[in-house]
Chain A
């Protein structure tokens, strides 16, 4: 059982039990090993065939100049060298990082807040949970089309509401900042439900005795949230952080449908820029190079998180 920090003390709760990070595995009999590999084999084959092989292939294509038809010309690292001096690429990098920085913490904070509220005895919480989770069941393209209806500058719902309130219109489509904001807002609407769902599951595992003990020690509601709830959902936070960052780096459908990367590249992100190069101008080697850079960015971030997260394996 976790020993609670003194009420009001700033230090986070000390985990009661950590799994050993490294240890000698129990010796398994050859039969057991064979069975284990047998169970793993289908997944390994699928991963190898549909994830690893395409990855290696993409790296190979990124060293070529090719329109996708026939054999390409080997150009070594030329495509990567082009990236360095490509202003549109750097604009897409900045937009992707900004998008991730805005969406990831906001979606997680809103998801945690909603989960905490809906974990209690709130009237109609089943309905509210369903409403929040519902966007998960809608495809990204359909979500984006709804976003177009809401954010259309001429006949959209949002500018209509702003006008009715006597507020100025926002250039959701023709202004760079407005367009970026519209993409972020629609993504949040789509993603908060997923974050809430994971946090809700994590909250089920936080024993009520921890809160009772903290209450007896004189902890306020905020202190119980900060020093009990937040550390105890640490593994879920770690999982969501990694997943949200990966989803954000890979954002495509919402941007593609809502803004097409415009106006003036204000919402262009790495995947839309790769798509434009790969399937519009057919510079598939260059597009593959962008994809490889995106992979490296994602791996680097995940590795850093893996090494630095202190609560990913926290258990009660």
Chain B
């Protein structure tokens, strides 16, 4: 074969061309122009089929009532925020987009979101639970609306627990296991199980590392000071949370690959019956019900000094350059009306953020018997917990949590060093 430099360069050029053209794809948008026209709200989101159906229904209701139109752009989650960022940088973002609470702060803190204060009624905050409203605040002003929440409870495999002689699980929030009781259950399971099976798995993989904070909250700790300007994790509560969660690996209560950076999600480990219990959000219920061929139930997450849980879920936010702020605010008001939120949450197995719906309770379409467990668990989240997660520096704090907890869980880094590392890392992140 006569491969000369000239042919090599030709081949390299031929290889480079599709790569260069492929690069163009990264900047494309699924729905054409992001900004809506006059009387139109452009809205970008990702979602499961059930979530999108709930959103479409809410949009129809708004369109009928207002005469405006909503241009809905549904994109895969994987490209959601690279698209949004590119659109913001290009000065062509959608009017409204959906954002997890732990990401909300980085957009609000960077001045990319619309301060909704002038466009919302003074009593608007009253429709939400305090913890939900706290999750969309930045500098004391609302920069979004809490659309729904989710929180982790314990899903358990009935047969695996029964085989270890555990037939009684907490049925009320007040009876939730303490850390000591959870340790007893885990020890009992460990002794009854073969080595390749484990008592439980925890869902802290990837950005789910914020779910580790539930242990900190249960110990009545904080990771940020009240003004969100400094670290507060160097405390007895911080040390207790690190020490207890580190013991999961040392005691063999979780599989060795239930780490922060693992590519195997905790729920998949539970699906495969490698573990008897898993911490999981309500969003998993429809999939679990459709997939699993074993009997399973749900119970409350543990408590220690107090109950605590992660404030998961998503807010809806408007971008700072929204073409018609009043129309956008009207849309955000509409999608958080009782009927729209109930329909969305019931269909998608997610939890409401409206205080009246929390009080009344809701029933999921799938496994309605589990709804009280999830709604009850969400009620233990404190506004000061969710308010910390809305920090503008949460993206950097997540990296600190990932690095330090991985070092503690996999590398055996001691508790004191870990807490010091967390504190210093958080201080640098918020500086």
Contact = CB atoms under 8 A, between A and B. Distances in A.
Interface of A: 19, 43, 46-47, 50-51, 54, 67-70, 148, 152-155, 171, 173-174, 201-206, 233, 235-236, 238-239, 257-264, 276, 279-282, 312-313, 315-316
Contacts of A47: 16, 20
Contacts of A281: 395-396, 399
Given A47-B20, A235-B8, A69 B259 contact: no
A206 to B, nearest CB: 8
Interface in B7-48: 8, 11, 13, 16-17, 20-21, 23-24
Interface in B96-139: 106, 110-112
A63 to B, nearest CB: 18
B263 interface: yes
B206 A173 contact: no
Nearest to B4: A313
* Nearest 7 Cβ contacts at the A-B interface: A262-B261, A205-B1, A235-B3, A173-B257, A174-B256, A50-B20, A260-B261
B49 interface: no
Nearest to A316: B2
Contacts of B259: 173-174, 262-263
B196 interface: yes
Interface stretch (B323-331, B350-358, B403-411): B403-411
Given A154-B269, A154-B274, A155-B272, A257 B263 contact: yes
B228 interface: no
Contact of B1 (A54, A235, A280): A235
A157 B231 CA distance: 44
B184 interface: no
A148 B205 CA distance: 15
Contacts of A152: 257, 264
Nearest to B429: A281
- Name the residue among A174, A235, A238 with the largest chain B CB count within 10 angstroms: A174
Contacts of A148: 263-264
Contacts of B399: 276, 280-281
Contact of A236 (B1, B20, B81, B85): B1
A69 B1 contact: no
Contact of A315 (B4, B17, B89): B4
Nearest to B395: A281
21 contacts: A43-B13, A43-B17, A50-B21, A51-B16, A51-B20, A67-B110, A68-B85, A69-B112, A148-B264, A153-B257, A154-B255, A155-B272, A174-B262, A174-B410, A239-B3, A263-B262, A263-B406, A264-B410, A276-B399, A282-B106, A313-B4
